[in-house]
Structure 1
Amino acid sequence: MAHTTELETARSQSVPTRTPWGQHALLHAVFFLMGGELFLISPLLPTIADDFGTSIPATALVVTAYGLTYAAASPILGALAEHVARRRVILLGVAVMVVGEILCALAPNLPLMVVARMVGGMGGALMGPAIWAFLAETAVPHERGRAISRGAAAYAGGQIVGVPLGTLVAASFDWRWAFAGVALVLAAVGASIAIRLREPDRVVVRPARAATALASSFRLWTLRTFRLIMLGNLCAQAARLGTYAFAGALFSTRFGLSTETLGLVGALVGIGSFTGSLLAGPVIDRWRAAGRREPVLCIGWGGLLAAALALAVLAPTSWVSIVGFMLAFAAGSAFFSTGQVFLTTELAERRSAAVSWNNSAMYIGTAVGTAVLGALGYGSTGFAIGAVVFAVAATTCSALLATRR
């Protein structure tokens, strides 16, 4: 029996009676900075490439390095950190990411810039799952949808600011100031978290060995519900983010939009993502209060995602295409938030480990969608069909989950 106890993960000691929205706001600020930092790089790529004397495709490795590091490290770090105090893990992740941002600002060449981005990805992979778990386990059950969705909205809000901010920095200042600024603000937020954030009321049972924690995390894949959630999220993000990876090329070649206008398009798409995340919260909570299951709601989000992506890619005018992308990002964000609530509820005893896998699925889905859709030729009918197929696959996973009791 002693061995069984060691395998147990953290259990909630009591059900929260009040959601600490003020503490959540501190963590939302971290997500906002993570989203802004990720999306501000796109308009900076030409400037960074010119400074380092490298091509834009080669310089784009600074984006890939962060995503791949996050995807690879998140499940491992999430499993190991499941049995450590949430506050401690979040602060450590913030510190690592601040170091990564400083290294980016000081990088003398592209290889060291890529390494710096990998350090930042490690920081994100460390604190991301812990933040999602904190939001879920400190929220009153009937407000969990809003708690998760507001976190996703904060990340999307960073996109709204990140793209135009990156464009402004590229036009007015040295690109290094963008990373230095993120490091400074993130350090200030980290200091506030150290002072104000209180550890959730939960019992932490530490495994005897790290291998035990990792084995427990990998055993999640033996659960059919978990596999369907992961596959659904992967396909939804492949559809949404894989398509958006080619939005700039689509708008510039088909509609002749300038670089400055593309920055505005990115902000509008971010608004769609922000709105979808924010509105999904109350909808999820009402849906759960009525005794309905989250996967049924995901079927609707998935159907809207498929239709919106078809509109975005095949639209005859730029504004119709923009509306399509905004709707697609609203639906995709709502799909992610709803799935995240379902995941953290169904696997409450292993929230951090489960969420870490879900975050990895998001980044892997983006890479898979970009590769597959890129091979089909952006803007073509085949490209549109591929995007819709990914969205339909996500909807199918939700339908299979909805039939399970």
Structure 2
Amino acid sequence: MYVVGTELFVFSPLLPTLAVNYDVSSNAAGLCVTTFSLAYMISAPLLGHVSDRLGKRQVLICCLLAFGTANLLTASAANFPWLLALRLIAGAAAAGVSPSIYALVGDAAPPDRRATWLALTVSGLLVSLALGASPAALVGATFGRAAIFFALALFSLALVALNCSVWPSECRHGGAARRPRDRLAVASLTCRLMPMIAWSTGLYGVYTYLGVGLTAFGFSKSQVARVVMVYGCGAIAGTLIGGRLADRLGAKYTAGVSLAGLCICFLLLLLALRAGVLVDLAVGLSATVAQLFFPAQQSGLANDFPVRRGAVLAWNNSALFLGISLGSLIGGEAVAIGSFDMTLIVCAAMALTGCIINWIVVPGPTLVLTNRLGCPK
């Protein structure tokens, strides 16, 4: 999860450098995030279905191999179209890594500790913000971006052997994958994914262009890297706290608090940037509040859709990356039309919208009855 997170998050501080290296605008450079996210979004449901049928371990190992290869080629991408093509491949491969790990952990975790276990898993992803993306940005500024992707490729390929030994072989559940679909269950899952789309659109609309926005406010590369590290530390804390809150208070209330708080935090960040004070604190607080949502959303889905947990969590990750794609597009347009200030305002409104949707569509912390597909009735 650390390697996948570094691959995803490092592009925000790298966008100004990529724009210069490939002679494109910052808005165009943001397509690196969009293409990765679109490939992830499209591939995740398919790979989730395959993992439920053929085994999560097999899908995880194959996708790690593809992910490492894509990063190795990214290090030597000669032009911008080739870079975008490799981002598509990396996104598709990552779509088989993250959901498989989440599903394996969800299967192994006791029900009353599932949110906490998933939060610990997600923390591996978010550690990359503080100890991956930020140092990688400094490495890129010193040795060039190729060094970052060579390192990611080596780590990915090394993890193939490790994951072969960590996860036991699985029994294949081909019969489960061929069960008839329940249209009401599909509609229920679709509604449950809407808060994730709103959350990721708002959060990553800001994060994708955070480096561009800070640079516009006069921050140096080292200062941007420092802010990204603060963001990562806040995100790790928020994820761990969110897992415990979701186990104690329920997924609905934890997610609602996160979305409402994120709206407020973005407006506070806007004020901090304009005043030129407490920017690090505002960014760290925003990250902490935002990441309360993710383990709550995951544990809610894992509890309510137990039979098809692999596929459902893959759909959740697909919704996450749909939101990331929308966020990068919306954030880029806001920066192009107005400024980073406008991006913060638009994304604050999106977080508030997600809070309202969450309150409407997510069931409260009551006993969830399930049909034979493991979906809420």
TM-score range relative to shorter protein = 0.7 to 0.9
Matches within 5 A, 1:285-324: 285-287=247-249, 293-315=250-272, 316-324=274-282
User: Which residue is equivalent to 1:222?
Assistant: 186
| 8 Å CA contact 2:259, 2:293 repeated in 1 | yes
Tell me the distance in 2 between the aligned counterparts of 1:379 and 1:44.
17
C-alpha spacing 1:299/1:175, structure 2 compared with 1 (3 Å) = closer
User: Which residue is equivalent to 1:369?
Assistant: 327
Aligned counterpart for 1:360 among listed residues 318, 336, 345: 318
User: Which residue is equivalent to 2:369?
Assistant: none
C-alpha spacing 1:199/1:310, structure 2 compared with 1 (3 Å) = farther
User: Which residue is equivalent to 2:197?
Assistant: 234
| 8 Å CA contact 2:35, 2:87 repeated in 1 | yes
| 2:348 aligned with 1:391 | no
Q: Which amino acid aligns with 2:194?
A: L
The alpha-carbon deviation at position 122 of structure 1 amounts to 1.5
| 8 Å CA contact 2:135, 2:225 repeated in 1 | no
Tell me the distance in 2 between the aligned counterparts of 1:184 and 1:330.
31
Matches within 5 A, 1:168-183: 168-183=138-153
* Percent identity of paired positions between Structure 1 and Structure 2: 24
Secondary structure of 1:82's partner? Answer: helix
Q: Which amino acid aligns with 1:285?
A: D
| 2:114 aligned with 1:153 | no
Aligned counterpart for 1:205 among listed residues 173, 190, 210: 173
Aligned counterpart for 1:349 among listed residues 292, 307, 322: 307
Matches within 5 A, 1:276-287: 276-287=238-249
C-alpha spacing 1:324/1:145, structure 2 compared with 1 (3 Å) = same
Runs of 4+ in 1 over 6 A off after TM superposition: none
Tell me the distance in 2 between the aligned counterparts of 1:65 and 1:118.
6
Tell me the distance in 2 between the aligned counterparts of 1:323 and 1:220.
44
Question: Once structures 1 and 2 are overlaid, which stretch shifts more, 392-401 or 130-139?
Answer: 392-401
Tell me the distance in 1 between the aligned counterparts of 2:224 and 2:49.
39
The alpha-carbon deviation at position 90 of structure 1 amounts to 0.9
The one-character-per-residue Cα deviations of 1:58-90 (angstroms, maximum 9, x if unpaired) are 444333221111111111221232212221111
Structure 1: gaps of 5 or more residues: 1-30, 288-292
| 8 Å CA contact 1:77, 1:126 repeated in 2 | yes
| 2:230 aligned with 1:272 | no
User: Which residue is equivalent to 1:24?
Assistant: none
Secondary structure of 1:83's partner? Answer: helix
User: Which residue is equivalent to 2:109?
Assistant: 139
Matches within 5 A, 1:35-46: 35-46=5-16
C-alpha spacing 1:148/1:300, structure 2 compared with 1 (3 Å) = same
The alpha-carbon deviation at position 251 of structure 1 amounts to 2.8
Tell me the distance in 1 between the aligned counterparts of 2:53 and 2:295.
24
| 2:73 aligned with 1:103 | yes
The alpha-carbon deviation at position 158 of structure 1 amounts to 0.7
Tell me the distance in 2 between the aligned counterparts of 1:46 and 1:324.
22
Matches within 5 A, 1:28-107: 31-48=1-18, 52=22, 57-107=27-77
The alpha-carbon deviation at position 188 of structure 1 amounts to 1.4
The alpha-carbon deviation at position 33 of structure 1 amounts to 0.7
Tell me the distance in 1 between the aligned counterparts of 2:88 and 2:214.
30
C-alpha spacing 1:46/1:314, structure 2 compared with 1 (3 Å) = closer
The alpha-carbon deviation at position 240 of structure 1 amounts to 1.5
User: Which residue is equivalent to 2:132?
Assistant: 162
The alpha-carbon deviation at position 234 of structure 1 amounts to 0.9
Secondary structure of 2:158's partner? Answer: helix
The one-character-per-residue Cα deviations of 1:19-47 (angstroms, maximum 9, x if unpaired) are xxxxxxxxxxxx11111122223444455
| 2:212 aligned with 1:244 | no
TM-score by length of 2: 0.86
Tell me the distance in 1 between the aligned counterparts of 2:144 and 2:296.
40
Tell me the distance in 2 between the aligned counterparts of 1:368 and 1:51.
25
The alpha-carbon deviation at position 199 of structure 1 amounts to 4.0
Q: Which amino acid aligns with 1:296?
A: Y
The alpha-carbon deviation at position 222 of structure 1 amounts to 3.1
| 8 Å CA contact 2:16, 2:211 repeated in 1 | no
TM-score by length of 1: 0.80
Secondary structure of 1:240's partner? Answer: helix
Structure 2: gaps of 5 or more residues: 367-377
- Aligned residue pair count: 361
Secondary structure of 1:349's partner? Answer: coil
Tell me the distance in 2 between the aligned counterparts of 1:378 and 1:81.
42
The root-mean-square deviation of aligned C-alpha atoms, in Å, is 2.7
Tell me the distance in 2 between the aligned counterparts of 1:384 and 1:113.
28
The one-character-per-residue Cα deviations of 1:239-295 (angstroms, maximum 9, x if unpaired) are 211123333343333x422222111111111111111012222222333xxxxx321
Tell me the distance in 2 between the aligned counterparts of 1:322 and 1:41.
20
Tell me the distance in 1 between the aligned counterparts of 2:235 and 2:184.
29
| 8 Å CA contact 1:43, 1:166 repeated in 2 | no
Q: Which amino acid aligns with 1:227?
A: T
| 8 Å CA contact 2:254, 2:292 repeated in 1 | no
